Copies of this chain bind each other. A is one copy, B any other.
Amino acid sequence: MTLQVGVLGYRFMGQAHANALARLPMFFPDAPDVERDVLIGRDEEALADAADQLGFSRTATDWRDAIDDVDVFYNLGPNHVHAEPSIAALEAGTPVFCEKPLAPTLEGAEEMAAAARDADVPAGAAFNYRFVPAIRYAKNLIDDGELGEIHHVRGRYLQDWLVDPEAPWSWRNDEEMAGSGALGDLGSHTVDLARFLVGDQQGEIDRLSGHLQTFVDERPVEGEDETQPVTVDDAYSAQAEFEGGAMATFEASRFANGHKNDHTIEIQGSKGSLKFSLERLNELEVLREHNRGYETVLVTDESDPYIEHWWPPGHVIGWEHTFVHENYEFLTAVAESGEASPNFEDGLAAQRVLDAVERSDQTGEWVDVERA
């Protein structure tokens, strides 16, 4: 059986997933067969060009026309179009793979998660950084107890594409369309990685204090002689406690001059520690119990997660490979009627943390993260 895939969104994420789908047969021969069936968007001309380049059989300008016909629905549009089509697809019994963050608001995410619970098909949240081999390796270390009891979790995601006040306005600067700024776009990744890595030991993030900041209040609209207000955060920080007692600090910015895609996670435990940096994603720094300093592990050995599918030791992979891995896992879940992981519950759990950051920022008080 070949899975017919419909994809909403044909820009950055559209290309990243289309590429992943295209690469599965050569590198993951046991993945389900997939056909890039329909590409969905509004601008017919751009859509046709994209479908041609990305290898889709056809296009559609209304997702309503597509979600019944396909075996899987990928929702890769801007955040504010995540909820309605995803819920409709799930109600139609079509498995859904949705980009992060799940929705601009906690309410939206809750509705999506409820729809996923009601549906009998996989609903995957596309937190691709869980699929970095070095992150999987880190997860295994923690699960094996090699770090002992976790004391500190530190996550930081730094970019600088808005440091110029003249950088143009986009939907990512708009609360209605994006929900939040650095918080949702970058922080959702950090929160998910933290949950993924230490959640099995430390439970959920229990309570936190959050802070948002907008450095530039309005930005020029590209090609027009006007500005639009920036209604989301340019940067956020948070300090938090896990249920298990670990301390956490989180931060992200679009104003961190000199940093392009600098996502780092650091964890310290009673027996060991680790450090990861996305811009050097083939490496993991590990403090092992009987060592004195961090060991730079190049996570490219055949025995490392996902690596046997790729190249010999030291032949590094790139950012896009994480999409191949997550597509492989999600599609396998679809084909085998299994569970997507991460799923909409994970997306919701991350959203609850983002929501708590926003609530705390408004009140200036520590707040409890909402519970399931």
- List B contacts of A15 (CB < 8 A): 26
- List B contacts of A241 (CB < 8 A): 211, 213
Q: Does A256 sit within 8 A of B, measured CB to CB?
A: yes
Name which of A118-126, A197-205, A292-300 contacts chain B.
Answer: A292-300
Name which of A65-73, A81-89, A91-99, A245-253 contacts chain B.
Answer: A245-253
Are A257 and B271 CB-contacts (below 8 A) given A18-B26, A235-B247, A249-B249?
yes
A51: shortest Cβ distance to chain B, in Å? 12
Q: Does A317 sit within 8 A of B, measured CB to CB?
A: yes
- List B contacts of A35 (CB < 8 A): none
* Copies of this chain in its oligomeric complex: 4
Do A258 and B237 touch across chains, with their CB atoms under 8 A apart? no
Name which of A173-181, A308-316, A332-340 contacts chain B.
Answer: A308-316
Quick one: which of B163, B312, B318 contacts A321, CB cutoff 8 A?
Answer: B318
Do A152 and B249 touch across chains, with their CB atoms under 8 A apart? no
**On chain A, which size bracket covers the interface?**
35 or more
Q: Does A231 sit within 8 A of B, measured CB to CB?
A: no
How far is A249 from B269 in the complex, measured between Cα atoms in Å? 21
Which residues of A in the span 344-364 have a Cβ within 8 Å of any Cβ on B?
364
Name which of A187-195, A219-227, A272-280 contacts chain B.
Answer: A272-280
- List B contacts of A53 (CB < 8 A): 25-26, 29
How far is A158 from B298 in the complex, measured between Cα atoms in Å? 14
Quick one: which of B215, B249, B294, B310 contacts A258, CB cutoff 8 A?
Answer: B294
21 A-B residue pairings within 8 Å (CB atoms): A12-B312, A15-B26, A26-B54, A151-B253, A152-B256, A209-B211, A213-B247, A237-B249, A247-B253, A255-B268, A257-B271, A257-B273, A258-B272, A260-B301, A278-B316, A292-B295, A293-B297, A293-B298, A295-B295, A311-B320, A316-B319
Q: Which residues of A contact B (CB under 8 A)?
A: 12, 15-16, 18-19, 22-23, 25-27, 29, 53-55, 151-152, 154, 158-161, 163, 209, 211, 213, 215, 235, 237-239, 241, 245, 247, 249, 251, 253, 255-262, 268-273, 278-282, 287-288, 291-298, 300-301, 310-321, 364-366
